[in-house]
Amino acid sequence: MRRLLFLNGIKAFEAAARSGSFAAAGAEMNVSAAAISRMVHLLEERLGVALFERKANRLVTTPAGRAYQSGLTPIFDALASLTAQVTAPASVRVLTVGVGPTFAMKWLIPRLADFRKQEPDIEVRITTGGAAAPFGDDWSCGIKLGDGEWPGLVAEPLFAGDLLPVCTPRLAGPLKRQADLKGPSLLRVAHSPDDWPLWLRAAGISRVTARGPEFQFYGQALQAAIDGLGIAMGIRPYIDDDLAAGRLVAPFALSVPKGMRWYLVYRDFRTGQRDFTAFRRWIIRAATEPASRARGQRHAG
């Protein structure tokens, strides 16, 4: 039997953790900030775990709170998406695509106008549960980074996950050789700690250790690199548009395979659905196009 503890409290906690305040969560749930605080406090009592450290002017999630919220947010996103599909008029054709937030922002969303131009009657809804999130029951398909082995799913390769350092042209200027890299300037991604060691080993550099600021997602590290904070380890295809636009440059030509690829993943029964077939055909073609050409198409549209 499924056991759900105090669902209103769970919703209140997730909204407060995501927004960073009881007031914002209250506005979202149409109740007062005090009501959100009470529900979260009651949830903490029932769980026997502190979810927030209550500071004077802000909320800070505890380690348990961060773990809880990271699991709850994609669940609520999936529930919202599923509800929207169930309640949509029969004439609305919807595809739900599960992707990580960086892939959505750095590659998929900038290209969706092209798909919409080709298939104006199909609405693409994106749920960003994260690349490591389980395949959602409401997903039409997903885009995942891995080895291609997901039981029960068809996996078709889209991109190689190649790694290469990227930074602004200004920071690239003094980098005449790979040994010029300095540890404090190398930006890190928390969930991919092996990226810099993998590239540095391939470059034959043994005395440099990445010690720069750490970010939760690739997208955050790449934005920090665009803002001149340091040198990020880029992964394709996240960096393709930024390189084509000149926002970032690759100071060294060495590109190292991450050991994983990006895949379009879906359940086998989807192959008989016309809308999914149209999206599958489009994304496989889009994955083969150079970033400069895709960018030109978007500007032309």
Where are the chain's structural domains? 7-73, 75-157+262-300, 160-260
CATH class of 160-260: alpha beta
Q: 7-73 — its CATH code? A: 1.10.10.10
**pLDDT one digit per residue (tens) for the chain, 301 residues:** 556 667 899 999 998 988 888 888 898 899 999 999 999 999 999 999 999 987 767 788 999 998 898 888 878 876 776 676 666 655 567 888 998 888 888 999 999 999 999 999 898 988 876 555 677 777 889 999 989 888 888 999 998 889 999 999 999 999 999 989 999 999 999 989 999 999 999 999 988 899 999 998 888 999 999 999 999 999 989 999 999 999 999 999 999 999 889 999 998 888 888 899 999 999 999 998 875 444 444 444 4
Are 145 and 131 a contacting pair, CB within 8 Å?
yes
Assess whether the region 75-157+262-300 and the region 160-260 belong to the same CATH fold. Answer: yes
| Superfamily of chain region 75-157+262-300 | Periplasmic binding protein-like II (3.40.190.10)
String of DSSP letters for 233-277? EEETTTTHHHHHHTSSB-SS---EEEEEEEEEEE-GGGGG-HHHH
